[in-house]
Amino acid sequence: MSRDIILYLINLFSVSILLALLPVYGVCAKQLGVPDWAQCAIDDLMQEIVPIDLNASLSDSSCIHAESDQFKSSQTEFLLEGDVRLSSETQQLKADRITIERPSNLIHIENPFFYADLQQAFRGRSAEVNLKDKIGLFKDVDYYLQESKAQGSADEIEIDKGKKRSYFKDVTYSTCTRGQEDWELLAREMKLDHITGRGVAHNIFLSLWDMPIFYLPYLSFPINSDRQSGFLTPIKGHSSTSGFDFTLPYYLNIASNRDVTISPRLMTQRGLLLGVEYRFLDTRHLGEIDLEYMPEDHRYGKYRGSLNIFDNAAPSNGLYTDLHYEYVSDGDYLKDLRKTPGILTPNYLERHLEARYFGDWWQILARMQGYQILHASPFSLIGNPYQRLPQLLFDGNFAPVASRLRYGLYSELVNFQQSSIAVSGIRFDIWPTLSFELEKPWGYIKPEAGFRYTSYQLGNLAMNKDIEAILSRAAPIISLDSSLVFERELVAADWLGIAIGRQTLEPRIFYLYIPYRNQKDIPIFDSAFMGRDYDWLFRQNRFTGADRLGDTNQLAIALTNRVIDSSSGRERLLFSIGQIQYFEDRIIGLKSDDPPEISSNSGLIAQGKFDFSSHWSFQSGIQLDPENSGLLRAGFDIHFNDAPHHLINFAYLLDRDRSLLNVGEQIQSTDISLLWPLNSHWRVLGRWNRALNLELNLETLAGIEYESCCLAVRTAVRQYRNSPVDADLQTTFYIEVALKGLSQIGSSLENQLKTSILGYQPLH
């Protein structure tokens, strides 16, 4: 038998049916990665896939092995009969009978055949191949695609290798188990052009459980992994404030590292919004520009829009730049028009341009930073945040070789600007330190001495005539940090049923001294009270920023207890408790008229974490009021996580520390969420987030989802407030159908569930 004929037969079958069928599920123009989900039942064609031989040369598959029970040759034909096998290192063809006519070189395969390579396998009832015209006609073909775990069939496939075109009739595609298709695509006619990399399909049906639900008369799509322009999957939704919400994105591939997505969005109660997203990516540079514009919002009464610019670059080793600019036309834009509303809407947007350079033991930062205030009421008491135009910062920590001494230097120069009536000015802050570190397995000791000098050159003092234009403050900062580690081995059942483990007791003492310096005339540019948690016990300043340096003479005493499971290395129990003892009153407050703090201690602060098992965990934190030992702050949460099947979250927060809240009321809230299966396919889910002190629900969500190995259907109703002060609840209804291996139809409910329910994961 002619070797060229056999080789051509193999090569003709290798004309990629994979490429021919991939477009059916690749209707999104952007290339989709292979999804990671639990596989359906193994397809019977999978066993035909040619295994990879790591010792074989895949680049040389020209060696053809032919086997058959009988071989006949005459002047008119070649005939191979009985378990015919044609194989190479990467391909295999099996049939009961193959006839090759001479001299027309027409091949007939009249009995069932199997073809497979490293990535695909298919079987068919019959085939005719014209070697002269390089045209093959295959009938009743079943296929299986290894990479995407997909299967389907085609009544007829015609492959024109000379013109590099393929024609299909009645093609199906699904990632479900063959014969049990929860969803399936059917294209009545399809034409693929392998030169242009495009395909055209007519009369496309999408069916769920054998029921047609979607029809397209015409579709053009890419047929290879190259990024190509085209329409993406539509996004649909509905809300009480926007009505029916429909987005049809169009993807425009500009170059291999640049693209644009144009997204017209129609909201029946608001109007038409146009979104444009431009992305670029280079070796040392990436960025994105998002623009949205609505000529008129029918509910709002005028135009609306937004601009978001993001740019990161690394021009050279050690140098990094970061640009982030956000703008919205009005304060309610994010609440009304962002695609996935959050629990809370931000009160301001940040803009910054910064450059960082990292040395071996130091870094410098140059930054320009500003804000767009969306809601002024939260800043009525503390004032709007100041812009930094610019900010220069140096931070270094150097340890000479073979020395326990460390030299540190923190320095900042920043120009603060705000409104025309607010105090502005330039602040220079420098803080050199010298420390000695002795660290051993049994503990450490670290004395440190520093000197902090801060000076101001103020402007815009028309409303503050009593303040001098040039101010300064200088004070030493002395601290001593030390800790010991006591350790013992645990025997069986000593703790939590741990067979082999280790328990540690770690006492820690931290002394801090900062003398009083008068700071009543220094304006507040960026200082605030620091949040009080366990780590706060060991801070060197009770204020953030440099405008306030808290005077103190204090000693923090703390104890940490850990239980570590030696078999897994996991920390099963962590409990820490501590308190600051003050030897002097603290005179410096955030505001000049704040009374001194006269309490002799900070009140006990404790935090704990307890892992009952691999699924249950508990963590909490409390702070006692130093005046009456009552609860000042408390919070705890319990998690049960057997993802992706079972999930329960319960959290409680109480905060009565009004000095940190800057409001007259306490915070008291609960947050409960769950995800629980009804059977192997159905799950219920929900969340209830309530502000108990305000007697308001911040978010209520309830839903149900069905998920198999190839299909997910999720639906939920969500009521939420963008801010605790909002009187009215907004209601949104979600429905999403995810065809695994194809695309997603509906709103982005999966992303919303991951935001609302801690630990949420799809079932498969």
Q: What is the 3-state secondary structure (H, E, C) of 73-119?
A: ECCCEEEEEEEEEEECCCEEEEEEEEEEECCCCEEEECCCEEEEECC
C-alpha distance from residue 609 to each of 98, 494, 536, 559, 573 (Å) = 71, 18, 18, 14, 6
Structure confidence at residue 53 (pLDDT): 59
Structure confidence at residue 26 (pLDDT): 30
Burial of 439 (0-12, 13-18, 19+ CB in 10 A): exposed
Structure confidence at residue 88 (pLDDT): 73
Structure confidence at residue 516 (pLDDT): 97
CA–CA separation, 273 vs 702, rounded Å? 29
CA atoms within 13 A on the CB side of 117: 16
Separation of first and last alpha carbons in the chain: 50
Q: What is the second-level CATH architecture of the domain 3-228? A: Sandwich (2.60)
CA–CA separation, 322 vs 668, rounded Å? 38
Structure confidence at residue 137 (pLDDT): 85
Q: Tokens 């920043």 sit at which residue?
A: 414
C-alpha distance from residue 596 to each of 214, 392, 516, 553, 584 (Å) = 71, 33, 12, 14, 10
Q: Which two tokens stand for residue 280?
A: 């670029």
| CB neighbourhood size of 342 (10 A) | 15
Q: What is the pTM of this model?
A: 0.77
Alpha helices in 559-607 (DSSP H): none
Nearest-Å Rg of the Cα atoms of the chain is 35
Which residue positions in the chain have pLDDT lower than 70? 1-39, 52-64, 131, 221-225, 339-344, 491-499, 643-644, 658-665, 741-748, 763-764
Structure confidence at residue 304 (pLDDT): 96
CA–CA separation, 173 vs 742, rounded Å? 9
698 neighbors 690 (Cβ within 8 angstroms): yes
Structure confidence at residue 133 (pLDDT): 77
Structure confidence at residue 116 (pLDDT): 77
- Contacts of the segment 722-725: beta carbons below 8 A, 24+ positions apart: 722/335, 722/341, 722/342, 722/344, 722/345, 723/344, 723/345, 723/375, 724/344, 724/691, 724/694, 724/696, 724/698, 725/377
- Sequence-distant (6+) residues with CB within 8 A of 404 are 436, 437, 438
Structure confidence at residue 107 (pLDDT): 80
- Express each pLDDT in 526-552 by its tens digit: 999 998 899 999 999 999 999 999 999
Residue spans per domain, the chain: 3-228, 630-764
Where does residue 376 fall: left (phi above 0), alpha (psi -120 to 50 degrees), or beta otherwise? alpha
Structure confidence at residue 30 (pLDDT): 35
What's the gap between Cα 669 and its chain centre? 27
Structure confidence at residue 12 (pLDDT): 35
Q: Tokens 């050159």 sit at which residue?
A: 457
